[in-house]
Chain A
Amino acid sequence: MSASTTTQGNTAEYQADTNVGKIANFVDTRVGLSPIIKEFGRKIFPDHWSFMFGEVALYCFIILLLSGTFLAFWFDPTMVTTEYTGSYVPMQGVEMSAAYASSLNISFDIRGGLFLRQLHHWAALLFSVAIMVHMARIFFTGAFRRPRELNWVVGCLLFVMALVAGFSGYSLPDDVLSGNGLRIVDGLARSVPLVGAYISMLIFGGEFPGHGIIGRLYIVHVFIVPMIILALVVVHLFMVVVHKHTQFPGPGRTENNVVGFPVGPVYAAKAGGFFFIVFGVLAAIAATVQINAIWNYGPYDPSPVQAGSQPDWYMLWTDGALRIMPGNWPFTWEWDLFGLVTLPMAILLPIVALTVFIIGMFTWPWIERWVTKDNRVHNILDRPRNAPARTGLGVAAMVYYGVLMIAATGDLIATHFHLAVNDVIYLLRFLFFFGPIIAFIITRRVCLALQRKDREIVLHGRETGRVQQLPHGEFIEVHEPLDEYRRYKLVAFEDNQVLPAQQDAKGKVTGSEKLRGRLSRLFFEDRVAPVTPAELDAAHHEHAHDVHELESAGSSSSGH
């Protein structure tokens, strides 16, 4: 019997009543919609505001694709020289590249073009902000641990690609500001030992600035990088589906479940609505706040430059690294090796400083696993205070990044706070080395203090602000015990402790194991253990005593 006769003869096949049902049924029987709906229709997502930044980044990316497509309709990515004839008076009759002229036309002669440019640029800034905040959330809550290490790496790649996307786009209008940015790229490329000058020639198609760079950056910006980002986003989201979302500790939340709201209808509405909110917020900013007024800078020309030459914020840290490096203090940082090779260490060392940060970021999940020997699956997040050493390190990394970022704004800090730019740089040179250490120590102490406060609250309850007098004259503040749900939130965390260096199979303690032991001590030596039920009982006994005294004296000591 053939398949067709089976279908024809099968009277039991589902028949939809409504029109929508009929269409759905048609699609389902052709491509199989039901399993997808079964998988995703009631999938659970936990709710926490800090979980939304990945979505913000995704939505920014969609907005970037949309606004970028519109901009591409009018943008001319060539460096052919033309004479500007548009309606912006100060540039009328000026020779400029077609790229710059078309950017001016988008701003002044395409209706709504200025809005699209501003929307695109603001979305790019928010895109990178959202990625960074999202990464910070993942880091501080320990969400990169098994099984999510690979997704952390994909996220790091997305972060790097966002930088490439941003920088290549920033350079496209071919104005003086971004052109000087490219000039710095030329200087950086040239600094690479042995092959640097050749790399610069390959990038620019000859000597800087050449005739090709805008066209090359254009294909990078509108095709190569967006395609890579898109592919990485797909992988990123696929892994989120495989792993299901992490959740904060709390009553009912275990390593083996996920508690929250179903996609249909609540989460779909919230997440879908959030897209429109992000779009609306960006549109409101683009309508009211001007960004990258390229018309002020003029067409790219190697001679002029302007005060306050900085890249967009996400590249500031690279510029800052170049700024705080002294060029010949205490000795010259340009080395001629044997009269054969010149090494510009004043550029190479800042590049090393940046690379260390990037490598540390990519490999952190493995570094932490090596130190803690913790290879278990973690679906419950750490509250940042419950991982004091990691939180301290995270803040130290933020200070490291922040010092470099602020260094790039040294001249503006100087003029706005009436300081000398030299002094600002001297201070930042000091902070580059000592800031992260100070930040680590302070942050870890703050985390431990917060943990102790949690302990106090669990043991003695929440402070109510009501003061009462005991019969023997002592004043006490009445503490209200926590209910079991709130209490569980404060006690449900892992009690890590130092794991000293271990002998290996041959009975020897290797050097790297000793280092690991020392790091483990740094991580866990100072620790605050979660309250145990026994401790709580003991605390209750003590309180019961006070309360008993209070009650027995109830009538005699009235109203305080």
Chain B
Amino acid sequence: MADHRDGLPQGKKGNLLDRSADEQAVFQDPGLPPHRPRTTDVDSGAAKRAERQVALLFAISIIGSILFFVGYFGVRVDGDIYSVTDSAPTAALRLQNLLLGGGIALGMLGIGVGVVHWARTLMPDHELVEERHDVVTEDQRAEAEQIVGTILDESGIKRRPLIRNTLIGAAVLAPLPFVGLLKDLGPLNLTPLRHTLWDQGVRLVRDPSGTPIKASDVTLGSTFHVLPENLMDLGHEEGYLDQKAKAVVLLMRLDPDIVTVTPGREDWNVDGIFAYSKVCTHVGCPIALYEQHTHHLLCPCHQSTFDLANECEVVFGPASRPLPQLPIQVDDEGYLVARSDFTEPVGPTYSQRVIAVNEMEEENGN
């Protein structure tokens, strides 16, 4: 009988070198090797021993489950975890975790290893053969085809194209309302991406304490993690994190001799104190690793490196754009304040960014 399962015309076997016709060309299957008895098959003492081992393993499982309750009720974790003066509660927690988990581990392993040991040594290990059958036989396929034909015929869907076409149209449209409902998962307004809480006169304050910063506090080599002062009044429900995620700034004093400043930005720093957005222009991780001697900023997520001496040009890594600079000045009381908001959108790139940058430039120009 023709073997039609290969889907190729008879005699064609793809790239296979067909040598089945030649008896001398291939080895004949010798059939299953003879069964080799195990020690437990021939030695009743060994079988008895295996039986005892299995029982012992099950007993270990029982002990394990009891151990869990020893840990559960026997170990008391009294007091604070990670207390600076008393490390006993943390140690007790560790012990409890060990006993609870160890108990369950023994409980499970005892059963598992026991059952498998039982199967390997005491259950028959004769290999058996089962015949495979085609996934479908030709008869079944023909029968099924016929049934499908009957169904289609009786439904009349082929004969009545009007019904068929309108049904297709209806079926395509019916799920659309549910796609439409997804629209309100979020507001579709991109203008917030252009603005942060920074504005003219907003004080720079320390993260996390919220205290303002005097220019004299920023000594050479030091760095401040900075938030806008008006963020501190914002409640969590009013978008505190959303605003913080855009407004975080890193502040440091640089040696004026090494810094290049492009024209138009001369008054953005205060005697060598520069403020840059902390949000990476790559995919938005906070850039916070400041090396004071190499004046580099490094992103710990993807190792983008920015050169502070060169207005945060990218010197290594996957970021393509310099970090946006926040223009700053000093107010009457000597505290650092923003001169304005950022002049470009902070954070990772999005398609509409170039439009946003152009429009913001125009606004600032006016």
Contact = CB atoms under 8 A, between A and B. Distances in A.
Contacts of B141: none
A242 interface: yes
Contacts of B302: 319, 322-323
B228 interface: no
A251 B32 CA distance: 5
B112 interface: yes
Interface in A337-356: 339-344, 346-347, 350
Nearest to B250: A303
Interface string A348-386: 001000000000000000000000111111010000000
Contact of A339 (B15, B110, B350, B354): B354
Interface stretch (A165-173, A439-447, A483-491): A483-491
B203 interface: no
Interface in B70-86: 72, 77, 79-84
A505 to B, nearest CB: 13
Given A202-B186, A305-B300, A276 B115 contact: yes
A481 interface: no
A292 interface: no
Interface residues of A, number: 141
A558 B351 CA distance: 88
Contact of B285 (A184, A332, A336, A373): A184
B46 interface: no
Interface in A489-503: 491-492, 494-499
A265 interface: yes
A81 B351 CA distance: 33
B81 A108 contact: yes
Given A276-B108, A276-B109, A374-B15, A342 B352 contact: yes
A89 B125 contact: no
B351 A209 contact: no
A197 B120 CA distance: 59
A495 B14 CA distance: 11
Nearest to A487: B27
A277 interface: yes
Interface stretch (B158-166, B266-274, B310-318): B310-318
Nearest to A302: B245
A205 B239 CA distance: 12
Most buried by B among A89, A307, A492: A89
A286 B102 CA distance: 9
Contact of A118 (B101, B284, B358): B101
A334 B27 contact: no
Interface string B339-366: 0000000011111111100100000000
A196 to B, nearest CB: 5
Given A261-B125, A303-B278, A207 B246 contact: yes
B303 A323 contact: yes
A208 to B, nearest CB: 6
Contacts of B120: 270
A251 B300 CA distance: 57
A202 B185 CA distance: 5
Contacts of A411: 300, 303
A180 B79 contact: no
B127 A261 contact: yes
B185 A303 contact: no
Contacts of B128: 42, 44, 259-262
A410 interface: yes
B335 interface: no
A498 B185 CA distance: 55
B132 A492 contact: no
A44 B129 contact: yes
B265 interface: no
Given A196-B350, A277-B109, A114 B32 contact: no
B27 A108 contact: no
B303 A112 contact: no
Interface in B213-267: 225, 227, 236-237, 239, 241-242, 244-246, 248
Interface stretch (B91-99, B147-155, B170-178): B91-99
A147 interface: yes
B14 A376 contact: yes
A254 interface: yes
Most buried by B among A187, A195, A319, A491: A187
Contact of A191 (B7, B17, B105, B348): B348
Given A112-B72, A252-B31, A499-B14, A301 B241 contact: yes
Given A347-B282, A492-B27, A323 B300 contact: no
Given A251-B30, A277-B112, A187 B15 contact: no
A258 B130 contact: yes
A47 to B, nearest CB: 8
A325 B125 contact: no
Interface stretch (B18-26, B37-45, B324-332): B18-26
A270 B282 contact: no
Given A259-B32, A342-B349, A376-B6, A273 B130 contact: no
A64 to B, nearest CB: 15
A259 B26 CA distance: 22
Interface string B97-121: 1111110111111111111101110
B116 A303 contact: no
A206 interface: yes
B356 to A, nearest CB: 9
A304 interface: yes
Interface string B272-299: 0000001010111110110000000000
A342 B303 contact: no
B124 interface: yes
Contact of B17 (A286, A410, A495): A495
Interface in A264-292: 265-266, 269-270, 272-281, 283-284, 286-288
Contacts of A374: 14-16
B13 interface: yes
Given A260-B127, A303-B227, A201 B187 contact: yes
B188 interface: yes
B348 A206 contact: no
B231 to A, nearest CB: 10
B8 interface: yes
Contacts of A43: 130
A262 to B, nearest CB: 6
B297 to A, nearest CB: 12
B11 interface: no
A328 B316 CA distance: 8
B109 A281 contact: yes
Interface in A444-496: 484-485, 487-488, 491-492, 494-496
Contacts of A202: 182-183, 185-186, 188
A313 interface: no
Nearest to B279: A302
Contacts of A433: none
A268 to B, nearest CB: 8
B56 interface: no
B190 A197 contact: yes
A309 B100 contact: no
Contacts of B237: 81, 211
Nearest to B107: A280
Nearest to A483: B33
A495 B35 CA distance: 31
Contacts of A499: 14-15
A372 B5 contact: no
A118 B83 CA distance: 22
Contacts of B107: 280
Q: Which 3 A-B pairs have the closest CB atoms?
A: A287-B101, A187-B283, A276-B112
Given A322-B318, A499-B14, 16 more contacts: A87-B89, A90-B82, A95-B236, A112-B100, A115-B97, A187-B280, A190-B350, A201-B187, A277-B113, A280-B106, A283-B101, A283-B102, A287-B98, A303-B207, A340-B354, A377-B5
12 contacts: A87-B80, A108-B81, A197-B350, A202-B186, A251-B32, A261-B125, A274-B112, A307-B300, A327-B317, A336-B354, A342-B349, A496-B15
